[in-house]
Amino acid sequence: MERVPILKIGDILLVSIQVDMSDQTAVALQEDLAERIVATGCHGVIIDITALDIVDSFVGRMLSSIASISRVLDAETVVVGMRPAVAITLVELGLSLNGIRTALNVERGMELIAANRYHDDLDEFLDGPDAEPTASP
């Protein structure tokens, strides 16, 4: 079985899916990512799907799961690089990719994560360390 590599860049884990994943490979990626988030303490995950020429319901569900798992582990997931034909097909398939943040490319994804961390830090600073965390916009 092929495995998708996970790269660490600063505070972000970057996954660039370059292969036509079997379902097993997709499940392994989900598990590998959860372990790497905990091991590295990273607060952001970027999944680059530029090279994927389809996203079916299985991969769509995997992306949603990764977003949920990383949120529980205090990391935010951004999916980047979705092709227009893939987006059109996903919507017609009926997949809404609930809870997934998207950006057009890796650079914008990194900006999105950085901006959210900044807002979180700012909220914490303004509310004081003992205050309840506020929901980010």
Which residue ranges make up the site for other proteins (CB under 8 A)?
Answer: 20-24, 53-58, 60-61, 83-86, 88-89, 92-95
Measured distance CA(112)–CA(73) in Å, rounded? 18
Q: How far is the CB of 63 from other proteins (least distance, A)?
A: 12
Measured distance CA(119)–CA(111) in Å, rounded? 12
Which residue, 40 or 89, has its beta carbon nearer to other proteins? 89
Q: How far is the CB of 4 from other proteins (least distance, A)?
A: 14
Which residue, 25 or 40, has its beta carbon nearer to other proteins? 25
- 35's enclosing H/E stretch is helix 23-40
Residue (of 113, 53, 130) closest to 88 by Cα position: 53
Q: How far is the CB of 1 from other proteins (least distance, A)?
A: 8
Measured distance CA(39)–CA(111) in Å, rounded? 23
Which residue, 54 or 104, has its beta carbon nearer to other proteins? 54
Measured distance CA(50)–CA(17) in Å, rounded? 8
Q: How far is the CB of 55 from other proteins (least distance, A)?
A: 8
- 62's enclosing H/E stretch is helix 57-72
Which residue, 82 or 106, has its beta carbon nearer to other proteins? 82
